Structure 1
Amino acid sequence: MAKTEFDELMSIGIDIGKDTFHLVGFNQDGQRVLCKQIKRLALIATFEELPRCVVGMEACLSAHFVSRTLRKMGFEPRIIPAIYVKPFNKGQKNDYNDAEAIAEAALRPSLKAVSEKTQDQLDLQALHRVRSRLVSRRTATINQIRAFLIEQGITVRKGLRALKNSFETILEERKDEISPRMRRILIGLYGDWMWMDDRIDKVSKEIEEISRTEENCVLQTIPGIGPMISTAMVAAIGEGEAFDRGRDFAAWVGLVPRQYSTGGRTILGRISKRGSRYLRMLFVPAAKVIMMRPHRWPD
């Protein structure tokens, strides 16, 4: 077989799109020898004709699927956070320039890549995202009910339980103050609320069942850590092999001070808030619960 220019490919960068992928590849001399646009369905057929090498891609939707597909074919995929690709961008922003920056970033030995997620992790992550969306929509629905009641001159004290316990009583005792149309609207919103409550309970129970069978959910032995936090961590980092120590995980999730140091002077600010906002949202209330119970601190 005749030798081709692709035989010396050292790295390939993929700019992943919805329907099309843009590929840029470099050889061992740093020369760009591959510049191609392909359809998503042509991914396997295209890479079967290329030599096995490092393949970089930004962390985005379907990146883990593409990574698993290429790894099965013998390539060495690396999923790179977008913030680490940005310094390698040159010129105007377009798909080919983005793919070129990804290909260059993939060759940096000190660059921390994103751990490839398994299908089980993606499924668990999907459950958490569905639950988070349902909780958000439930809160919006409850706030809308409160707003409509206030417009009728009816106020209810704070708390989800207070509104749920007094809703039917309000409709009965204040029926002269609420128009028939507004009454129907409120009953419809209350039905939406009850439906979302039921969906949230079902998803939560499924997550709890997974936490009992998932061997990596060992964090539940720590005070304040329950099924939600432990399964969310498994979905995000798996076994945590990407981190050498706990402090590295704290830095990744954004719970350490933001640093701006120069000239030997260390300047630390507020927490960096990098990484997963959802994990921070779970960790902070859990930490507050522990801080409110000094008798549990020795644990």
Structure 2
Amino acid sequence: MEAHTIGIDLAKNLFQVHGVDRHGQLALCKKLRRSEMAAFFAKLPPALIGMEACGGAHHWARKLAAFGHQVRLMPAEFVKPYVKSNKSDMRDAEAICEAVARPTMRFVAVKSIEQQAILSLHRAREGAVKARTAQANQIRGLLTEYGMVLPQGIVHIEKMLPSMLADMHNALPGFLIQLFQILLDNFRHLDQLAQEIENAIRRWHLANEESRRLEQIPGVGPLTATALVATIGEAKTFHNGRQFAAWLGLVPRQHSSGGRERLLGISKRGDTYLRKLLIHGGRAVVRYADRHPSQYNGWLANLLARRHKNVVAVALANKNARIAWALLAKGRVFCPDPVLVEA
């Protein structure tokens, strides 16, 4: 009995496989070790394989697709409703097998190695920035205990801390001065690490034509552009710009019942990192428009006149997300004046 549809519950070492035939009858129920996965699926006839979009999913999706299988990844939250009774690896694999065959299921596009590589740079940079901020806050907190307060901004740590320590050299114990020097060296290392990773991202940005086109959108810089290109992959996976914005969590949540429509705040679903970059870019544009009102009119100026700046920043992030989808899906170049864009 051949398995027509297969669900795989991914793990570090042991993988649970559940397969059914064309009539939905159980055809396969097996637990495999990591070393056995490739050989096992290489021998199977082509089938529809479903997996949750978790750690290692894109790697296995590319590997199994190379054997001729049709592989689809799904968000774990959409698979959970299909789990029957208590949770176990077998139940999870069965739920994945059932969910992947649903006609209304939403799938995650399989990322290429290059896409995953540039996103790895983003994750590493984000980690270095967080660690740098934490180190800066620790230095500030310790200095405050001795009556030394630094101005806001991490740039002041590098500028002012050495001179402050020199002035307090006789007032503080030597081992404390040494501690502050160690913390400052660690801060410098993290700052250099974040800068080196960002330079690598910028080099990839300059070499990628799609990323350079997205940079023309106000509020979208090299970091946001590269993250968009690497995260979206094939833009035509989304039917329109609104679906992409909804995927990012930038559209209102809906709580409607009995024919009464009720829209709430943004849903905040999807990729948190990408949504944060777009909103920060929107804040930068709003800040510039507030300082130079003569250079902005129309939609942005009208919105700023009647809504809070944070609301305008999120609205602009939503708009930029839709524009980015249009540029990637239709291969167009950004033009501020819609009349000048060819139909």
Asked whether the two chains share a fold, i.e. TM above 0.5, the reply is: yes
Worse-matched range after superposition: 162-171 or 70-79: 162-171
Deviation per CA, 1:150-194: give whole Å up to 9, x if none.
111211121112232111111011223322111111100100111
Worse-matched range after superposition: 158-167 or 14-23: 158-167
Question: Which residue matches 1:121?
Answer: 115
Question: Which residue matches 1:234?
Answer: 229
Instruction: Supply the distance in 2 between the matched residues of 1:87 and 1:107 (Cα, whole angstroms).
Output: 14
Task: Answer whether contact 1:290 1:297 (CA < 8 A) is retained.
Answer: no
Alignment of 1:15-164 (within 5 A): 15-164=9-158
CA, structure 1 residues 230+296, in 2 after alignment: closer, same or farther (shift >3 Å)? farther
Worse-matched range after superposition: 122-131 or 152-161: 152-161
Task: Answer whether contact 2:109 2:234 (CA < 8 A) is retained.
Answer: no
Unpaired runs of 5+ residues, structure 1, are none
Instruction: Supply the distance in 2 between the matched residues of 1:297 and 1:290 (Cα, whole angstroms).
Output: 13
Worse-matched range after superposition: 262-271 or 287-296: 287-296
Deviation at 1:46, TM superposition (A): 0.9
Instruction: Supply the distance in 1 between the matched residues of 2:183 and 2:140 (Cα, whole angstroms).
Output: 11
Unpaired runs of 5+ residues, structure 2, are 299-335, 337-343
Instruction: Supply the distance in 1 between the matched residues of 2:249 and 2:199 (Cα, whole angstroms).
Output: 29
CA, structure 1 residues 296+221, in 2 after alignment: closer, same or farther (shift >3 Å)? farther
Deviation at 1:30, TM superposition (A): 1.3
CA, structure 1 residues 297+72, in 2 after alignment: closer, same or farther (shift >3 Å)? farther
Deviation per CA, 1:32-53: give whole Å up to 9, x if none.
2211000111112111332211
Deviation at 1:216, TM superposition (A): 2.2
- DSSP 3-state at the match of 1:97: helix
- DSSP 3-state at the match of 1:279: helix
Instruction: Supply the distance in 1 between the matched residues of 2:205 and 2:223 (Cα, whole angstroms).
Output: 8
Worse-matched range after superposition: 139-148 or 150-159: 150-159
TM-score, normalising length from structure 1? 0.95
Please state if 1:188 is matched with 2:182: yes
Question: Which residue matches 2:249?
Answer: 254
Equivalent residue in structure 2 for 1:288, among 283, 288, 310:
283
TM-score, normalising length from structure 2? 0.83
Query: What amino acid maps onto 2:170 in structure 1?
Result: D
Identity among equivalent positions (%) equals 38
Instruction: Supply the distance in 2 between the matched residues of 1:146 and 1:297 (Cα, whole angstroms).
Output: 42
Deviation at 1:296, TM superposition (A): 4.6
Instruction: Supply the distance in 2 between the matched residues of 1:296 and 1:25 (Cα, whole angstroms).
Output: 58
Deviation per CA, 1:278-298: give whole Å up to 9, x if none.
111111111011122142567
Deviation per CA, 1:75-125: give whole Å up to 9, x if none.
000001101101111011000100000000110122121000000001001
Task: Answer whether contact 1:220 1:230 (CA < 8 A) is retained.
Answer: yes
Please state if 1:274 is matched with 2:269: yes
Task: List 4+ stretches of structure 1 deviating above 4 A.
Answer: none
Query: What amino acid maps onto 1:243 in structure 2?
Result: F
